[in-house]
């Protein structure tokens, strides 16, 4: 998107399913993404906002589920998602030590749109996910401010940059440059077109394990760019979105398949790496105020979930590779640097 060269532009095809028009999470109608990027010397960080739809998310929630693959993380809002099966705010991505600032700003944003919160109705569940960008970014500086969060939400669009932008600015993936990546797949159910898209914040893996479309290029990269003897202490956040009407249980099943897509790029999910998946459906909405005690809900026949399982795997794998190939090389804190996968394009 936005004139960036992505992994398919290098002849790399992931999976067999058709991509959406943008090959992005925003191919799911109404889903938008916004970034604020901070890139100044030792400050290499940012914030990314994912909006499941353009309306009032508190009053018109989306069905959702979360899955923790490896729980070395500090994300917020997951407990209520698991219990209630809905998301009621934008989803924020940022660095580990700025989740408090992001959460506070998100709460204030929701209070501004909903004067009933905390007075005549319950409170709100802010969703903030994180990865540790401390290798490239001076994470102790807590550079993210409330205005950055609000700007990311306000700037959300169906067209957005990938790579070293927003929350992905300071992230590393397979000890190369990581960041924000996205992909989508389209398919038919009952004669109607549907979409599943993924967006990742990639920050995991060891260089020697990097695999592109089944080709393990990691050892060749490591031979040219130093081997990586340090353990995998990164993380990845995967956000899956679809317009297929699903229950929260079905969304949980789909979320669990993202680990296959992560593994296909070479990761073995290290002890110190936090892997988290959020999945939501815009096809089932939950009204905060509803006069009916019994609420109708559609869900997909279980046997047809295989289509979405495959789409979740393909989009996760491709989104990770897009996050790397679109990211430029970055030098940050203490002169630490991460090279772009683009510098090794002949290996693709």
Looking at 275, 314, 317, 318, which residue is catalytic? 275
Q: How far is CA 124 from the centre of its chain?
A: 21
DSSP state of 160: -
Q: Of 202, 70, 74, whose CA–CA distance to 129 is shortest?
A: 74
Instruction: Give first-to-last CA distance, the chain, whole Å.
Output: 20
Q: Is the dihedral of CA 84, 85, 89, 94 positive or negative?
A: positive
Q: Which residue has 């992560």 as its token pair?
A: 262
Distance between alpha carbon 126 and the CA centroid of its chain, in Å?
A: 16
Q: What are phi and psi of 109, to 5 degrees?
A: -60, -45
Residue 275 designated active-site: yes
Instruction: Residue 116: count other Cβ atoms within 10 Å of its Cβ.
Output: 13
302 is catalytic: no
Which is catalytic among the residues 235, 281, 323, 340? 235
Name which of 65, 150, 137 is nearest 102 in CA terms.
150
Residue with tokens 């159910």: 189
Q: Is 151 a catalytic residue?
A: no
Q: Of the residues 26, 273, 281, 340, which is catalytic?
A: 273
Helix axes 305-325, 248-256, angle to 10 degrees: 50
Catalytic residues: 235, 273, 275
């Amino acid at each position: 998107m936005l004139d960036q060269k992505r992994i398919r532009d290098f002849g790399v095809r992931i999976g067999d399913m058709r991509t959406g028009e943008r090959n992005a999470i925003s191919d799911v109608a109404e889903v938008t993404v916004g970034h604020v990027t901070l890139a100044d010397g030792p400050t290499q960080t940012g914030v990314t906002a994912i909006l499941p739809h353009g309306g009032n998310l508190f009053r018109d929630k989306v069905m959702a589920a979360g899955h923790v693959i490896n729980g070395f993380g500090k994300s917020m809002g997951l407990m209520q998602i698991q219990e209630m099966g809905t998301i009621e705010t934008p989803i924020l991505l940022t660095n580990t030590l700025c989740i408090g600032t992001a959460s506070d700003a998100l709460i204030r944003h929701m209070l501004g749109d909903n004067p009933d919160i905390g007075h005549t109705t319950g409170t709100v569940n802010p969703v903030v996910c994180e990865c540790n960008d401390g290798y490239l970014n001076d994470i102790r500086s807590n550079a993210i401010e409330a205005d950055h969060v609000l700007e990311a939400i306000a700037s959300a669009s169906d067209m957005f940059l990938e790579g070293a932008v927003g929350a992905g600015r300071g992230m590393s993936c397979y000890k190369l440059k990581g960041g924000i990546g996205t992909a989508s797949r389209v398919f038919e159910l009952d004669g109607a077109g549907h979409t599943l898209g993924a967006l990742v914040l990639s920050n995991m893996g060891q260089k020697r394990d990097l695999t592109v479309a089944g080709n393990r290029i990691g050892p060749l990269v490591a031979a040219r760019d130093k081997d990586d003897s340090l353990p995998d202490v990164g993380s990845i956040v995967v956000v899956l979105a679809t317009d297929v009407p699903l229950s929260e249980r079905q969304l949980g099943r789909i979320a669990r398949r993202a680990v296959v897509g992560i593994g296909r790029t070479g990761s073995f999910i290290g002890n110190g790496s936090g892997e988290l998946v959020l999945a939501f459906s815009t096809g089932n909405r939950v009204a905060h105020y509803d006069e009916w005690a019994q609420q109708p809900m559609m869900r997909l026949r279980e046997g047809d979930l295989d289509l979405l399982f495959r789409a979740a795997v393909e989009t996760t794998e491709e989104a990770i590779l897009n996050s790397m190939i679109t990211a430029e090389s970055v030098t940050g804190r203490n002169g630490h640097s991460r090279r772009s996968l683009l510098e090794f394009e002949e290996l693709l």
